[in-house]
Amino acid sequence: MVDVMGSAPAEEQGRLLQEAGNAVKRNAFFMKKAMDEDNLREALRYSATLLGELRTPALTPQRYFELYMQAFNELTHLQAFFREERRKGRSYADLYELVQHAGNVLPRLYLLCTVGSCYIRSKEAPARSVLKDLVEMCKGVQHPVRGLFLRSYLCQVSRGLLPDVGSEFEGDGGSISDAIEFLLINFTEMNKLWVRMQHQGATKDRERREQERQQLADLVGRNLTYVSQLDGLDFALYQEGVLARVMDQIVSCKDAIAQQYLMQCVIQGFPDDFHLGTLDTLLGILPNLQPGVQIHVIVSSLLDRLARFAASDKAVVETFNQVDAFGKLTRAAAKVTEQEGQVPAGDVVAMHAALLGFTGAVYPDRLDLVNKVLTSAFQALEKQAPITDVKAEKQLVQLLSTPLDKYDVVTVLELANYPSVMSLLRPAKYKEMAVKICSTVLRQRTLVGSMEKVEMLLDFISPLVKDTEGLEDDEDFFEEEQNLLARLVHQLVSADTDEHFELLRAARERFNAGGAKRLRHTLPPLAFAALRLVRQIKEGDGDSKKIDGSCKTVLQWILGVAAQLAEVPAAEIALQLYLQTAHAASEVARLELIAYESLEQAFVLYEEAIPDSKAEVTALQSIVGVLHRCRVFTPESRDTLVHKATGYSAKLLKKPDQCRAVCACSHLFWQEAAPEEEGAEVPEGVQPPVRDSDNVMVCLKRALKIANSAQQQLAVALKGDHTTPVMLFVDILNHYLFYFEQGNPSITTSVLQSLLELVANEMANDNCQNDAALLAFYNSTRNHIAIQKEKGDDLAQKFSSLQL
Amino acid sequence: MQKWFGNLGQTVPIQLEFRRKDGQPVKNATVKVKGLGTEQLPLFNNKDSIYGEIKVSNIPGKKFEHQGIKVQLLGQIELASERGHPHDFLSLVRDLSPPGDLVQQEKYSFEFNDVEMQYDSYRGLQVRLRYILRVTVSKGYGGSVKDFPFWVRNFEPLAPPATGPPIKASVGSMLRLPQSGTLHPVAACGGASAVAPGTSMTMRWRVGIEECLHIEFEYDKAKYHLKDTVVGKIYFLLVRIKLKHMEVEIRRRETTGSGQTAHNENETLAKYEIMDGAPVRGEAIPIRLFLSPYDLTPTYKLVHNKFSVKYFLNLVLVDEEDRARTSSRQEIQLYRASDASQANGLPAAAATLIS
């Protein structure tokens, strides 16, 4: 089977081109020689032979183009020669006939075009007639590649010779409609040839052929470009004379590649306002295109152009409205999807994405239109749900993201069809989208402040809130997703505290469905948000008409959350939460009972649920810290709690931990008044600060004892060189100094002095001297004393007697 | 034979000069001679009067005795098959001198008035038609004979645009036309063409291979003058084979004899590629064939019952494997238009352009 396109194998191409090129050069040489000798006949003969090289069927389009360019350059000499002949008195009419004596059609037509261009330029014949003749005669070449190049040559040499408005060839030479006619006929013929390429040759070469066709596309498109560049082309001409015919050709050629390219050509080639005026035609054509045409790409580029047009000139938007651009575009999109039956989902989505972009650009504040687009997208895709095509999915996510970027999320939440479009996604993508929404909310710092919107938002992001059927949570991302969700809780804010509380409650309701593994992440932020709410209520920022005993209710609710958290189980977090609640109850709300309850629960958790000694230490430190600051307790309840805390301290496993905990506990007996309370009455509901110097002393002494026994224990364990006990001593010394400065009567100068000496002795040890951290600690302690001495106030007086 | 006899006896130099009565130089025709390029011959038309002067010289110093001098105007048809026995269809004679002695160069004027030369001079493959002036100086069995050829061309006025009925193609055995008339509406395939709608393409000729290729060849007239241009179009009504190119040939057929003894000789005078590549159904390929570059003569129909010369357009379609898939011919009438009537028309190229 002979390949119709006939091109030789790739390795041959170079050689063939070389040979043909040489032949062109050789004949060009003789042609020029004949020109010099003023021998017209011979010049024509050699030029025809030269052009005969273009008859080769063996070259690929790319190589053929190279050969064509060579021949093209030689033909410019021929043009000059023809002009010279004319000067010598030979008429162009004569020449025009003479070149047609050439026996082979391809060289003949190249020559004819060459003379023709001179003929028009001379104005000896009307441009119109010559152009018409040329474009018709070129039909003699029906070979696609050769024909395309021939017509491309015709198009090129006649450029600037068209009877365009304002051109010197207008008038006798014809009118703009002749120019359009010429270009359109040439375009039509070229397109036919171009399309024909597709159907020639073996099926196996199809891919290569399509590639070659792409390479030739611009030759065809150039005709349209030239039409668009005609000065006299106005809208009426375009609509009546150009578009209709181009569209006709596009549809009738029934070739996907051509349709794709030419639609783009039209859209990119002609002015925006033309498109606006001919939207009906442009869009009406879409359902008639071949199945392989990526209509969304066409629609997208049209939309992009119109969007840019609208952006460039606000006045245009009015015109958009007049022609109902939006409605037409939406309907067109819908129609395309309906008509074709199963349009690939990706295309549908991409088209709607473009539509959305257009809407955003032209009507930035018309949310209803955005919703319409989404509705249309949903309707188009409903049947194909869920979208399984990966690419389509990606594009759908893109589509859904566009409004998120353009408007804030709260606005998007008003789009009724947003979730329905989202539901088209498969679970994994749906979740991805949920993550995206969350991120956007957080990035834009959008506050979601109404019940309705919160519900909506949580609907949107439900894959994060709860398990999705058929979707395994990805361990790697789970934490991250839940973190997002946790952060999102803080965006659920209303200026109205009642409402705010309602939002949190609603969120909790939702979160409950998420199971333990989510609650671990989602409950704490809820509680903390509630705690902040408590502060707000107390500070009177919010208006709390509705919540009865507002703070109490909120705190109770938080306790509930904490309890739930404890059951998750997440004891450590729950414990911290109890403590925070206790602190808030005590220091913000002044509700002793709740504070007590919170601490009690914290102790219970401490006893029952803290897993290891390290966690115990941390927990205990936190308990002590909170308890220290709570001022709401009556002495009795405080005793109980403090007793419990000191008891736990002494029961810690490791001596250093014990020692430090006991030191910390000493502070439970020595509260400081808040600065603003200085000298004032103790506020209502608050107990005066506890100042129990004896118990402080008891604690500190016990700490010293423990430190001592820790030292002995290490010695027994033959770990005498450990510096930890000394560290403890310095630690204790610091506590002593603190109380000394606080004016605790039990800490006298002599007590302190002896401790100082003790520590100094310990520090003399070589091991201690080598421990940089310890040394630094010790030295800064000493420095502190020295500085206090220098201060020259009452305290300095007290310090002055200390000997370092 | 005359020559042969002449060689036996004494010969005398004979010269002949064509003249015109008005004193203008006689027009010449450039005539192709096979293998020799061209030669110039005096050119006359039918009903022309032929004048001239003949000089007959004796051999210097010798008296030449003759039995009379005459000049004949002969029109001959000579067939290759009967070489040496030309058929004279025209024979006129003028006696120039009665028997006598030639003692010096003698000049004789002669005159044939309004000679009926209805046939054109013609040189073909197997037949020629020629006109000569034959000067005979008789002398017993010997004597001198010399022929002076001249060329005759006749003109017809430019034919009016043909409006006759379409010419039906004669279809060869391998070429069969579909009987259905569905292929007929040519205009539908025409689309935009260089031919203005008003111009009627009256000649239509269908060619085809059944179920493979249906072509309609349309051209503007049945009769062309020799400097004319054949303008036409080829419509591809059905294309199921891959064509590579298409040519139009101009063929000449000489026919001698008649009936059973008729003999045809064909000659291709022109090959003109009109299409490159494979068209698809519905394509229309324009044809514009200038006749002037080719050595054509008018169509001659049964010249003196001896021979005919006919011209044909021959369409050759070559497929991808370089086989001529079909070729079909259609006669065209050629005639010679007078220079004056041609000059009245537009130059060929301009004419075709405007059409």
**Tell me: the pLDDT tens digits for A316-329?**
887 887 778 888 88
Q: At which of A568, A599, A617 does a domain end? A: A568
Q: Domain check: are A243 and A278 in the same one?
A: no
Q: Domain check: are B39 and B101 in the same one?
A: yes
- The reported pLDDT for the residue numbered B287 is 92
Provide the 10 A C-beta neighbour count for residue A318. 9
Q: Domain check: are A435 and A538 in the same one?
A: yes
Is A132 in Cβ contact with B276 (below 8 Å)? no
Domain interval for residue B199: 187-354
Q: Domain check: are A80 and A116 in the same one?
A: yes
For residue B67, the domain's CATH number is 2.60.40.640
Average model confidence (pLDDT) across chain B: 79
Q: Domain check: are A459 and A563 in the same one?
A: yes
Q: Is A173 on the interface with B (CB under 8 A)?
A: no
**Does the pLDDT at position A436 exceed 90?**
no
Q: Is A227 on the interface with B (CB under 8 A)?
A: no
Is B290 in Cβ contact with A140 (below 8 Å)? no
Mean predicted confidence (pLDDT) in A177-202: 91
| Closest residue in chain B to residue A142, using alpha carbons only | B277
Q: Which two tokens stand for residue A789?
A: 């001495």
In a domain, A135, yes or no: no
Is A2 in Cβ contact with B347 (below 8 Å)? no
- Inter-residue contact A419 to A460 (CB < 8 Å): yes
Q: Domain check: are B136 and B200 in the same one?
A: no
Q: Is A139 on the interface with B (CB under 8 A)?
A: yes
Measure CB to CB from residue A185 to each of B192, B278, B348 and give the nearest one: B192
Q: Which two tokens stand for residue A166?
A: 């304002």
pLDDT band of A419, cuts 50, 70, 90: confident
- Inter-residue contact A562 to A550 (CB < 8 Å): no
Residue B170 contacts by C-beta under 8 Å, 6 or more apart in sequence? none
Q: Which of the given ranges, A426-430, B33-37, B289-293, has the highest pLDDT on average?
A: B289-293
Tell me the chain B residues in contact with residue A99 when contact means C-beta distances shorter than 8 Å. none
What percentage of chain A exceeds 90 in pLDDT?
A: 26
DSSP A531-551: HHHHHHHHHT-S--SSSTTHH
Tell me the chain A residues in contact with residue B273 when contact means C-beta distances shorter than 8 Å. 103-105, 108
- The reported pLDDT for the residue numbered B158 is 62
In a domain, A79, yes or no: yes
Domain interval for residue A62: 1-125
In a domain, B146, yes or no: yes
Tell me the chain A residues in contact with residue B354 when contact means C-beta distances shorter than 8 Å. 129
Q: Domain check: are A390 and A521 in the same one?
A: no
Tell me the chain B residues in contact with residue A106 when contact means C-beta distances shorter than 8 Å. 276
Q: Domain check: are B340 and B221 in the same one?
A: yes
Q: At which of B132, B152, B172 does a domain end? A: B152
Tell me the chain A residues in contact with residue B278 when contact means C-beta distances shorter than 8 Å. 4, 142-143, 200
- Inter-residue contact A652 to A613 (CB < 8 Å): yes
Tell me the chain A residues in contact with residue B320 when contact means C-beta distances shorter than 8 Å. 2, 4
Q: At which of A125, A143, A171 does a domain end? A: A125
Number of independent structural domains in chain B: 2
Measure CB to CB from residue A146 to each of B276, B293, B349 and give the nearest one: B276
Question: Of residues A584 and A46, which shows the higher confidence score?
Answer: A46
| Cis peptide leading into residue A725 (ω within 30°) | no
pLDDT tens-digit profile of A66-113?
Answer: 999 999 999 999 999 999 999 998 999 999 999 999 999 999 999 999
CA distance B4 to A148: 67
Q: Domain check: are B248 and B145 in the same one?
A: no
Q: At which of B99, B128, B152 does a domain end? A: B152
Measure CB to CB from residue A196 to each of B280, B288, B352 and give the nearest one: B280
Tell me the chain B residues in contact with residue A137 when contact means C-beta distances shorter than 8 Å. 194, 286, 288
In a domain, B162, yes or no: no
The alpha carbon of residue A678 and the mean position of all alpha carbons in its chain are separated, in whole angstroms, by: 55
Inter-CA distances, A508 with A3, A4, A177, Å: 73, 73, 73
Question: Of residues A430 and B142, which shows the higher confidence score?
Answer: A430
- Bridge partners (DSSP) listed for residue B303: B307
- Inter-residue contact B332 to B230 (CB < 8 Å): yes
**Does the pLDDT at position B198 exceed 60?**
no
Burial class (CB in 10 A: 0-12, 13-18, 19+), A204: exposed
- Inter-residue contact A380 to A352 (CB < 8 Å): yes
Is A2 in Cβ contact with B320 (below 8 Å)? yes
pLDDT tens-digit profile of B277-320?
Answer: 988 888 999 999 999 999 899 999 889 888 999 999 988 888 88
DSSP A55-74: G-SSS-HHHHHHHHHHHHHH
Residue with token string 């060869």: B172
pLDDT tens-digit profile of B51-62?
Answer: 999 998 887 777
Q: Domain check: are A259 and A290 in the same one?
A: no
Q: Domain check: are B217 and B314 in the same one?
A: yes
CA distance B176 to A618: 107
- The reported pLDDT for the residue numbered B190 is 32
In a domain, B170, yes or no: no
Select from A130, A133, A145, A178 the residue whose CB has the most chain B CBs within 10 Å, as the one to mutate to test that interface.
Answer: A133
pLDDT tens-digit profile of B60-72?
Answer: 777 888 888 999 9
Q: Domain check: are A32 and A107 in the same one?
A: yes
Q: Domain check: are B196 and B94 in the same one?
A: no
Is B354 in Cβ contact with A140 (below 8 Å)? no
Average model confidence (pLDDT) across chain A: 85
Is A136 in Cβ contact with B288 (below 8 Å)? no
> How far off is chain B from A200, nearest CA to CA, in Å?
9
DSSP H helices, A233-324, are: 235-237, 244-253, 256-269, 272-277, 279-285, 295-312, 316-322
Provide the 10 A C-beta neighbour count for residue A614. 12
**Does the pLDDT at position B3 exceed 50?**
no
pLDDT tens-digit profile of A519-541?
Answer: 888 888 888 888 888 888 877 64
Residue A596 contacts by C-beta under 8 Å, 6 or more apart in sequence? A582, A633, A637, A641
| Closest residue in chain A to residue B349, using alpha carbons only | A97
- Inter-residue contact B52 to B16 (CB < 8 Å): yes
Question: Of residues A114 and A756, which shows the higher confidence score?
Answer: A114
**Does the pLDDT at position B344 exceed 50?**
no
Residues 80-109, chain A: which have Cβ within 8 Å of B?
A: 91, 93-94, 96-97, 100-101, 103-106, 108
Inter-CA distances, B263 with B81, B82, B333, Å: 10, 13, 20
Mean predicted confidence (pLDDT) in A452-472: 79
Q: Domain check: are A332 and A437 in the same one?
A: no
Q: Domain check: are B94 and B226 in the same one?
A: no
Select from B193, B195, B250, B353 the residue whose CB has the most chain A CBs within 10 Å, as the one to mutate to test that interface.
Answer: B353
DSSP state of B61: T
In a domain, B81, yes or no: yes
Inter-CA distances, A365 with A144, A315, A370, B173, Å: 51, 16, 9, 79
Number of independent structural domains in chain A: 4
| Closest residue in chain A to residue B236, using alpha carbons only | A142
In a domain, A40, yes or no: yes
In a domain, B91, yes or no: yes
**Does the pLDDT at position A6 exceed 60?**
no
Measure CB to CB from residue B283 to each of A93, A142, A144 and give the nearest one: A142
Which stretch of A547-551, A693-697, B106-110, B115-119 has the lowest confidence by average pLDDT? A547-551
Tell me how many residue pairs between chain A and chain B have CB atoms under 8 A apart: 85
Select from A105, A130, A187, A195 the residue whose CB has the most chain B CBs within 10 Å, as the one to mutate to test that interface.
Answer: A105
Q: Domain check: are B133 and B207 in the same one?
A: no
- The reported pLDDT for the residue numbered B54 is 92
- The reported pLDDT for the residue numbered A798 is 78
**Does the pLDDT at position B4 exceed 90?**
no
Q: Domain check: are B126 and B211 in the same one?
A: no
Q: Domain check: are B113 and B204 in the same one?
A: no
pTM score of the predicted model: 0.70
In a domain, A108, yes or no: yes
In a domain, A431, yes or no: yes
| Closest residue in chain A to residue B228, using alpha carbons only | A97
